[in-house]
Amino acid sequence: MTLVSGTHDAHGAAYRDRGGREVVDHYGKPVRVGKAVRNVAGVIEMGYGVLAVRGADRVEFVDNAVSNRVPTADGEGTYALLLDPQGGIETDMYVYNADERLLVFLPPERAEAVAADWAENVFIQDVEIDDVSDEFGVFGVHGPKSTEKVASVLGGPGAPEGPLSFVRGSMVDAGVTVIATDSPLGEEGYEIVCAAADAGDVFDTLINRGLNAAPFGYRTWDALATEAGTPLFEYELAGTVPNVLGLRNALDFEKGCYVGQ
C-alpha cells in the first residue's frame, strides 16, 4: 500500500492495484500531468517490492542467479533479469550494492516468491534474503529539470551522474539515497529512497520545496514509458525471451552460467 495516502488524497488521487500493492493511478488529469513531466519535472511514489540480501557471499549468490553482472562496489547498480529454464523472463529487477547488503527492486507481485525461491537455494553460502518492501519509501523524479529539482532539495553531495549509481544525502531531517535512473521515461531521472517513517516528509519536500514538480501516477508513467520504448513488466516482459525485446542492457554475454542462459 502507499505510504503517503494523506498527501495523495489532498491532490485528488485515484488509486489502482499494481501487483497486489495500492498505487496512485492518476490525480485527475493524467495527460496534462504527462506534459508537465515532459517539460519540467514530476514525482511519483514507486510501487516496488524490495529485497535485502546480506552475508559474505551475497554478490556471488545473486550474480549466479541473474542475467547481468552484479556490481561489487558500493554505490553502483545494474538492471537484470531472472529467467526460467527455457529463457523466459520471470521478472526484471534493479540490483544495488549498498555497502554490506544488496537491495533488489522488482515488481511487487514477484518479491515474496523470489525471496522464497532464493532462500531455498541457499546451501552452504553465507547469504540471508529478506523481503523488506515495507521498510522503504521510493519516489521517482523524472523530467528535463529533474537534476535541478533534486539539487534544490538535497543536502550533502551533488546528484549522482552515472546511470544506476547512487549517493547518500539528506532531505529535511531524513537520510536519503539518490539513484540516477536508466531513463525509463526517456528523460533524465532519479529515485529517492528513504525509510518508510520518513516517506511523508520526503514526498512533501519533493512536491512543495525547491523547484516545482508535479505529482503523477502510474497511468501517466505507463504512457510515458511506452512513448520512450521501455517495456512494461506486466504487459510485455513476463514470459518473453529477452532477445525478442532487445534487452541487451539486462544481459552480460561474458558471465558464467545462470538459469535460462
| Segment 205-243, tens digit of pLDDT | 999 999 989 999 999 999 999 999 887 766 666 666 656
CA angle 85, 109, 163 (to 5 degrees): 80
Segments in the chain forming alpha helices (H): 5-10, 30-39, 58-63, 108-120, 146-153, 199-208, 218-228, 242-245
Task: Select the CATH number that applies to the domain covering 5-48+135-228 from these four: 2.60.120.10, 3.40.50.300, 3.30.1360.120, 3.40.50.970.
Answer: 3.30.1360.120
Closest CA to 180 of 161, 203, 158, 208: 161
| Segment 99-141, tens digit of pLDDT | 999 999 999 999 999 999 999 999 999 999 999 999 999 999 9
Is residue 261's pLDDT more than 60?
Answer: no
Task: Write out the three cell numbers for 39.
Answer: 517539460
What mean pLDDT value characterizes the chain?
A: 91
How many Å apart are CA 66 and CA 248, to the nearest integer? 14
Confidence of residue 83 (pLDDT cuts 50, 70, 90): confident
What are the sequence ranges of the domains in the chain?
5-48+135-228, 50-133
Task: Select the CATH number that applies to the domain covering 50-133 from these four: 3.40.50.1980, 3.30.70.1400, 3.90.209.20, 3.40.50.2300.
Answer: 3.30.70.1400
Domains 5-48+135-228 and 50-133 agree in fold = no
Whether 30 contacts 94, CB under 8 Å = no
How many Å apart are CA 130 and CA 54, to the nearest integer? 9
Mean pLDDT value of segment 58-81: 95
